[in-house]
Amino acid sequence: MSGGTCDLPEAADGGAAPRRRGRPRQLSLERIASAARNVAPEALTMQAVADELGVDPKALNYHVGDREGLRELVALDVFETELARVTLPVDSDWRDVVRSYTTALRDAVVQVGVLATSVRLPGARGLGTLEPVERVLEALVGAGFDTADARAALTLITETGFSSGLNAVLVAQHHGHPDVPGVIRALQAAGDKELPVLREVVAGRQDDDDQLEFKMTVILAGLERVLSRKRPPG
């Protein structure tokens, strides 16, 4: 991430000139994000971060605007840090690259935790999150997909990784998917012989890893079908 800093001008006698309106002295996005790491996500407020920095909360407005802007900054900081640690396979089958990228996205979102809803898709800031994207596109185009299909595939797998991460965070927060108890109560109120397949599905519901694996199996099978249509017969 990048964010500028601004020093106070010096007066003619070498001392600091009176502070002017605008960016606070020595305050930057990096310093704000660093201070925010010391605050529990559930307690993340402008006041809490300002206290860590020893500044007035209004000083943060120039950089992050409001609390939601602060949450987005912190979420992106964690997300970029986690994704930067990922090394996608080189000279590997395109399917392996796609799987690795999707799993890395899911894991990065999980690390963001309760702030995950404030994460924006890769490319929001800086090149760090774009390098894995380029690697995926290279693998897809190298396998024979044209750029239009590679773009569509990238969108699909990116959304899959993000949604899987958000779902994992939701399950962790509620110690299970929040919709499931309501479904169970409805089934308990229904007759014993009603909705038998749904009862079986709820009883044997998959965990997050199983669900992501199923999604990737379906997505890769579909992409293979698209690719096969582009290959010449024979």
DSSP state of 195: S
What is the per-residue pLDDT for 211?
A: 85
What is the per-residue pLDDT for 140?
A: 96
Euclidean distance between CA atoms 167 and 178, whole angstroms: 10
What is the per-residue pLDDT for 158?
A: 92
Residue 129 in this model has a pLDDT that exceeds 60: yes
Euclidean distance between CA atoms 86 and 101, whole angstroms: 8
- Output phi, psi for 178, to 5 deg: -65, -20
CATH second-level architecture of 77-230?
Answer: Orthogonal Bundle (1.10)
What is the per-residue pLDDT for 208?
A: 62
For 77, the token pair is 């900081």
pLDDT tens, residue by residue, 98-109: 999 999 999 999
| pTM (whole model) above 0.75 | no
What is the per-residue pLDDT for 27?
A: 86
What is the per-residue pLDDT for 217?
A: 95
Residue 81, Cβ density class (10 Å: 0-12 exposed, 13-18 middle, ≥19 buried): middle
Q: 119 near 125, Cβ under 8 Å?
A: no
pLDDT tens, residue by residue, 49-93: 999 999 999 999 989 989 999 998 898 888 888 888 888 888 889
- Within 8 A by CB and 6+ apart from 16, the residues are 8, 9, 10
pLDDT, average across residues 169-193: 78
What is the per-residue pLDDT for 83?
A: 83
What is the per-residue pLDDT for 18?
A: 47
Domain spans of the chain? 7-65, 77-230
pLDDT, average across residues 101-125: 81
Question: Which of these, 136, 131, 168, 170, lies nearest to 150 by C-alpha position?
Answer: 136
- Within 8 A by CB and 6+ apart from 146, the residues are 230
Residue 226 in this model has a pLDDT that exceeds 60: yes
The distance from CA 124 to its chain's CA centroid, rounded to whole angstroms, is 11
What is the per-residue pLDDT for 25?
A: 52
Euclidean distance between CA atoms 218 and 225, whole angstroms: 11
Number of other residues whose CB lies within 10 A of the CB of residue 152: 14
* Window from 9-13, 84-88, 114-118, 159-163 with minimum mean pLDDT: 9-13
Q: Round to the nearest angstrom and report the end-to-end CA distance of the chain.
A: 50
pLDDT, average across residues 35-42: 89
- Tokens 């396998």 locate to 143
Q: How many CA atoms lie within 13 A of 29 on its CB side?
A: 17
- Banded model confidence at residue 205, pLDDT cuts 50, 70, 90: low
pLDDT, average across residues 3-13: 45
| N residues, the chain | 234
Q: Which residue has the higher pLDDT, 71 or 199?
A: 71
* Window from 33-42, 178-187, 191-200 with minimum mean pLDDT: 178-187
The three state secondary structure string of 187-222 is HHHCCCCCCHHHHHHHHCCCCHHHHHHHHHHHHHHH
pLDDT tens, residue by residue, 132-178: 889 999 999 999 999 999 999 999 999 999 999 998 888 887 776 66
For 126, the token pair is 């800086």
For 7, the token pair is 């020093």
Name beta bridge partners: 162. Answer: none
